Copies of this chain bind each other. A is one copy, B any other.
Amino acid sequence: MNYFSSDFKLGILGGGQLGKMVLYNTRKFDIQTLVMDGSNEAPCKIACNEFTLGDLMDYDAVYNFGKQVDVLTIEIENVNVDALETLEKEGIKVYPASKTLKTIQNKAKQKLFYVDNNIPTAPFSRFAYSSEIKEAINHGGLSLPFVWKSAQFGYDGQGVKIVRSIKDLEGLPNVECIAENLIPFKNELAVIVARNVSGDIKSYPVVEMEFHPEANQVEYVICPARIDAEVAEKAEGVALKVSEAFDHVGLLAVEMFQTEEDEILVNEVAPRPHNSGHQTIEASYTSQFEQHLRSILDLPLGRTDSKVGGVMVNLVGAEGYTGNVVYENIETIMGMEGVTPHIYGKQQTRPFRKMGHVTIVNEDLNEARRIAEEVKKSIKVISK
């Protein structure tokens, strides 16, 4: 297939920020794009050739949209997988595959997949309903503390709770879920693996998610991670194994824990461009967004190493502010060395809503990390 011809059409399910950043790269290659999203305010609307308003979970909407394109990809996991399966049978190229998405969409299935494929992950129990958990504890089949995770729709930290006492079980939705051992870890790491249709594989350097010591929230993504070469190699090996197990096409972001004993355990994966790869725009030879396109269009993969050190800071809505967003001190941070803000263009802020990110690049990673802290201290996402 000639991707650089005007007949070729790429479809993207989901019209959010990740899709928008993929779309900028389709323009570089002059690829015709169709996007479907459930909101008429989707950021992608302005950047694609054709926009379709449609429910991503609706079989007919996804099927009818997919029938128009040559290659179909996603920028969010929660789409109607049955429709993707039908489209695949009818010859549309769907990356990631419906089979992969089906496994990833359900956290219990995802965990079982790791076990089946001999991929290290934290021990867990699976429950059809949260209400069964108390009984398991009472019978000694499960011990506190543990991490409760809803099996379905656990997008972006939603549907996760640390359960330290029976009391913490109160208020949990009574859904299919898992209870995962709470593993003390030194670092949370991530590796993005790119694999094209022909099976060529490249992985990005291991990144480190640095947490706020009190808030238990990722504050910085640091590339490359400040860890021993051995640990980095091990993490990369695990990530590659996950990608191969899925027979994955496209990007696969593999989030992992580095335990106190330097074991690597897979936490979860995302089969698309990922928050842990935003710094690749400024820091890497090939951005994750361009790499995703190269992968699904079966083009040669680009270099994944870094030009310079990169640190990414998420811009989230400050606590106590809801309404029309104002980026206080954005001009101040733009005066700092190697700082690029990426504002997502959402009109309304609310506490912890992802409103953008800021990348800081520097030939010296420690200097980038220092400036990132200045950025974090200066900018405030508030409302007017």
Chain A interface (Cβ < 8 Å from any Cβ of B): 2, 4-6, 20, 24, 27-30, 46-49, 285-286, 290, 294, 299-300, 302-303, 307-308, 324, 326-327, 330-331, 334-335, 337-345, 347, 361, 363
Contacts and interface: CB of A to CB of B under 8 A. Distances in A.
Nearest to A2: B326
Contacts of A290: 340
Nearest to A4: B327
Given A331-B299, A334-B294, A4 B343 contact: yes
Nearest to A24: B24
Nearest to A327: B4
Contacts of A334: 294, 299-300, 302
Contacts of A48: 46
Contact of A27 (B285, B345, B347): B345
Contact of A337 (B303, B340, B341): B303
Contact of A331 (B27, B300, B337, B340): B300
A331 B361 CA distance: 30
Nearest to A356: B30
A343 B30 contact: yes
Contacts of A339: 302
Contact of A361 (B20, B285, B342): B285
Contacts of A335: 300
A342 B307 contact: no
Contacts of A30: 343-345
Given A4-B330, A307-B361, A347-B6, A341 B29 contact: yes
B307 A341 contact: no
Contacts of A6: 324, 347
A299 B330 CA distance: 9
A330 B8 CA distance: 15
A340 to B, nearest CB: 7
Contacts of A347: 6
A47 B330 CA distance: 24
A20 B27 contact: yes
Contacts of A326: 2, 4-5
Contacts of A344: 30
A308 B303 CA distance: 14
Contacts of A24: 24, 27
Nearest to A29: B343
14 contacts: A2-B326, A4-B326, A4-B327, A4-B330, A6-B347, A20-B27, A30-B345, A285-B338, A299-B331, A302-B340, A303-B337, A303-B338, A307-B307, A307-B363
A286 B359 CA distance: 12
A265 B48 CA distance: 44
A19 to B, nearest CB: 12
A308 B306 CA distance: 10
Contact of A340 (B28, B330, B342): B28
Nearest to A307: B307
A290 B300 CA distance: 28
A28 B307 CA distance: 21
A50 to B, nearest CB: 10
Contacts of A341: 28-29
Given A27-B345, A46-B48, A303-B338, 10 more contacts: A5-B326, A27-B47, A30-B343, A30-B344, A30-B345, A285-B361, A300-B334, A302-B339, A307-B361, A307-B363
Contacts of A294: 334
A285 B56 CA distance: 38
A342 B28 contact: yes
